[in-house]
Chain A
Amino acid sequence: MVAGTTSKTAVVTLPTDTQIVITRVFNAPKHLVYRAWTTPELIKRWWGGDRGEVILAEVDLRVGGRWRYVMVANAGFEVAFHGDYHDIIQDELLVSTEVFEGLPGPGTLSTATFIEHDGRTTLTLLTECPTTELRDAILASGMEGGMQESLDHLEQVAVSLL
């Protein structure tokens, strides 16, 4: 790892047809990254990115427990995601499902791992999708122009899956 200035670049890779992996190094120990990742009041401060305001973050942090986030996008509409925790190792691992509430279906499985090295933490977020179409739709959701375009796209995909 490079000392001093942090290369805070998020890197996305597509290991298979149905997976997305994103990695990022944080200049903080893993227990703090984990705390920011799992504490509702803190989630509200980062999860919306530049796209909107997170108005609800519910976290029942136990295996089988449920999470739900609701964001009001800058464009004015609400988007909501929820899921269940499948595996939890405090400060190290979080496995949960993630369902976008506008889209029917099983959603995705997310595995977040937090690995600390010299006081810094590498977060690896693996998203596993049931289909390539859903994977592609999720990737497309990052397109500039924001959520509306992606929702349109998701809708097309959803219809095509019927």
Chain B
Amino acid sequence: MARAATTTDAFNAVAEPRRRQILDVLAGGERPVNDLVAELGLGQPLVSKHLRVLREVGLVEVRDEGRQRVYRLNGRSLQPIHDWVKAYEQSWAERFDRLDVVLDQLKTQEEDDGGWNNE
């Protein structure tokens, strides 16, 4: 389905820790390349390489400001990843809701018994 195609873009792009680091920095606001280089402590060519990957999948956008290239996060393109994690969260949320019911019953039982003896 569409998933396979998606996995090859934004998903792969954020699988790289340095690229996630770049996204984290950009989450605080747009930044020129030099800032990113300084912040990440990486060489400019490597930072530029990561930025190119992020641009290709639409995770960041760039504009020219004078002689500077300024990058910013494109939050919308992170949505599929967000949704994807949310879905996992949802499946656990269903389990936990049921666990709540079990726990309520155990609590009531314990109060009634004045203590439950472990088998």
Interface residues of A (CB under 8 A from B): 8-12, 14, 16-17, 20, 22, 24, 26-28, 32-33, 35-36, 42, 45-51, 132, 136, 138-144, 149, 153, 156
When chains A and B are docked, how far (Å) is the Cα of A10 from the Cα of B92? 7
When chains A and B are docked, how far (Å) is the Cα of A10 from the Cα of B17? 24
Identify which of B3-11, B22-30, B47-55 touches chain A.
B3-11
Identify which of B32-40, B60-68, B70-78, B99-107 touches chain A.
B99-107
Q: Which of B79-119 contact A (CB under 8 A)?
A: 84-104, 106-107, 110
When chains A and B are docked, how far (Å) is the Cα of A22 from the Cα of B92? 8
Name the distance in Å between B80's Cβ and chain A's nearest Cβ: 11
Contacts of A132 in B (CB 8 A): 15
When chains A and B are docked, how far (Å) is the Cα of A20 from the Cα of B85? 10
- Indicate which residue in A16, A24, A140, A141 contacts B96 across the interface (CB closer than 8 Å): A24
**A46-B98, A49-B94 given as contacts; is B85 within 8 A of A28 (CB)?**
no
Interface residues of B (CB under 8 A from A): 1, 3-4, 7, 11, 15, 17, 84-104, 106-107, 110
Contacts of B11 in A (CB 8 A): 136
When chains A and B are docked, how far (Å) is the Cα of A140 from the Cα of B102? 27
Q: A142 to B107, Cβ gap below 8 A?
A: no
Contacts of B7 in A (CB 8 A): 136
Name the distance in Å between A76's Cβ and chain B's nearest Cβ: 18
When chains A and B are docked, how far (Å) is the Cα of A141 from the Cα of B91? 9
Closest A-B pairs by Cβ, 8 of them: A142-B88, A49-B94, A46-B98, A28-B103, A142-B91, A142-B87, A49-B95, A46-B99
Name the distance in Å between A91's Cβ and chain B's nearest Cβ: 11
When chains A and B are docked, how far (Å) is the Cα of A144 from the Cα of B93? 13
- Indicate which residue in B86, B87, B93, B102 contacts A45 across the interface (CB closer than 8 Å): B102
Can you report 20 residue pairs joining A to B where beta carbons are below 8 Å apart? A9-B93, A12-B86, A20-B88, A22-B89, A22-B92, A24-B92, A24-B93, A32-B103, A32-B106, A33-B103, A36-B103, A42-B102, A45-B98, A46-B96, A48-B95, A49-B98, A139-B88, A143-B84, A143-B87, A153-B3
